[in-house]
Structure 1
Amino acid sequence: MNNWVTMLIIGVLSLIAGLMAMFNPFGASLVATAIAGWSFAILGVLQIFDGVRAEGWGGKLWAILLGVIALFLGINILGEPLQGMVALTVVVGFMFAVSGIFKVIVGFAVPSSPLKWAVLVSGAVSLVLGFMVLSNIPGSAVVALGVLLAVELLSNGVSMIALALARKDEA
C-alpha cells in the first residue's frame, strides 16, 4: 500500500470494528465463529477438488478425506453456531495453555537474561488465559472469541494508523 491515506482509512475502520466488537463481544464471537465455519467449508471444497485432481490413490484418498472432514466441520459450525462457538473456544483455551507450557519450558532453557523473564512472563500469561477460558466453559464461549477478535482489530488499527502516519512523513 503506497498510499498512506488508504492505510489510514483501513486503520480507522479496523479501530471502529474493534470497538464495536469490544462493546458487543457476543456478536463478535458469532462473527468469528461464522468466519471459521466458512473458512473450513471453503477449505474443504478446495481440498476435495484438489484431491480429485491428485495423482496416485494414496494422495488422492488422503486429500479427499481431509477435505470431507474440513467441509463437515464447516457445515457443522455454520449449522450449529453456538455449539461451534463453544468448540472453538475450547480449542483457543487449549492453544493458550499449550503455548504457555512451551513458553515456560523455553524460558527456563534460556540463559539468564532479560529475555528469560519476558518469555517466562509471556508463558505465565498464556497459562492464566488458558485456565480462565477453560475453567469457565461454556460461559467464556459467549465472549472469548469476540474479545480476541476485538483485540486483534484494535491492534491492527493502531499499527495501520502508525504506519500510515510514518509513510505520510516520508512522502
Structure 2
Amino acid sequence: MSRTLWLVIGVISILGGIFALFNPLSASFAAEQLAGFIFLFVGILQFIALFRAPSTSGKVLAALGGVLGVFIGIELLQNPMQGILTLTMAIAILFMATGLVRMVVAFGLKGSPAFVPVLLSGLISIALAILIFSGYPQSSIYTLGVLLAIELISNGVSLIMYSRVQLLLERH
C-alpha cells in the first residue's frame, strides 16, 4: 500500500473515532447492526460459493459457513442488545490480539520515529481489552462505543506515523 493510502486511512480512522466519542451509544448500535448485515451478506455469499465449489468438502464448508453467517447475521439484527454484549467480548479479544501484534511490529521499527507511537498504540489496545474484560457486561452499551472511538483514534495516529516512516524510507 502506498504511504498516501496509509495516511488517508489514518485520517479517516481518527475522524470516525471523534464521531463515535460524541455519541457512544449510537456508535455501539451502529457497529452491532453493521456487523449483523456483514455476517448476513457473507453467509449469502458462502451459499453462492457452494454452487461453485469443485469438491464435496468445499461444498460442505461453504454450506456450513453460509448457515453460520446467515444465522449470526439474523441473530445480531433481531437482538441488538445481545449482539452488543457479544460484540463487546469479541472486540475485547480483538483489541488484545491487535495490541500484541502492534507491540511486535513496534519492536521491528525500533530506532525509527514510529517506534514509540506504534508501541503506545499496542499498549492502549491491550489496556482497552483489559478494561472491557473487567467491566463486562454492565457497561457494554456505552463502553463499546467509547472504546471503539479510542481504538479508532489510536489506530489512526499509528497509521499516520507509519505513513511518515514510509516517506522517510522512500527518500533514502
> Considering the TM-score relative to the shorter chain, is it more than 0.5?
yes
Alignment of 1:141-156 (within 5 A): 141-147=140-146, 148=148
Further displaced range: 139-148 or 46-55:
139-148
Residue 32 of structure 1 corresponds to: 31
Residue 113 of structure 1 corresponds to: 111
Tell me if the contact between 1:52 and 1:64 (Cα under 8 Å) persists in the aligned partners: no
Q: Establish whether residue 59 from structure 1 lines up as the match of residue 58 from structure 2.
A: yes
Tell me if the contact between 2:125 and 2:151 (Cα under 8 Å) persists in the aligned partners: no
Alignment of 1:31-110 (within 5 A): 31-108=30-107, 110=108
- 1:49 aligned partner, one-letter code: I
Q: Percent identity?
A: 35
Alignment: residue pair count: 140
Question: What 5-or-longer segments of structure 1 have no aligned partner?
Answer: 1-10, 160-171
Further displaced range: 51-60 or 32-41:
51-60
Further displaced range: 131-140 or 144-153:
144-153
Residue 137 of structure 2 corresponds to: 138
Separation in structure 1 between the aligned mates of residue 151 and residue 133 of structure 2, nearest angstrom: 19
Separation in structure 1 between the aligned mates of residue 77 and residue 85 of structure 2, nearest angstrom: 13
Further displaced range: 25-34 or 116-125:
116-125
CA-atom RMSD in angstroms? 3.1
Residue 162 of structure 1 corresponds to: none
Q: Which runs of 4+ in 1 moved over 6 A?
A: none
Q: Establish whether residue 122 from structure 1 lines up as the match of residue 138 from structure 2.
A: no
Question: What 5-or-longer segments of structure 2 have no aligned partner?
Answer: 1-10, 161-172
Separation in structure 2 between the aligned mates of residue 86 and residue 67 of structure 1, nearest angstrom: 23
Tell me if the contact between 2:36 and 2:76 (Cα under 8 Å) persists in the aligned partners: yes
- 1:71 aligned partner, one-letter code: V
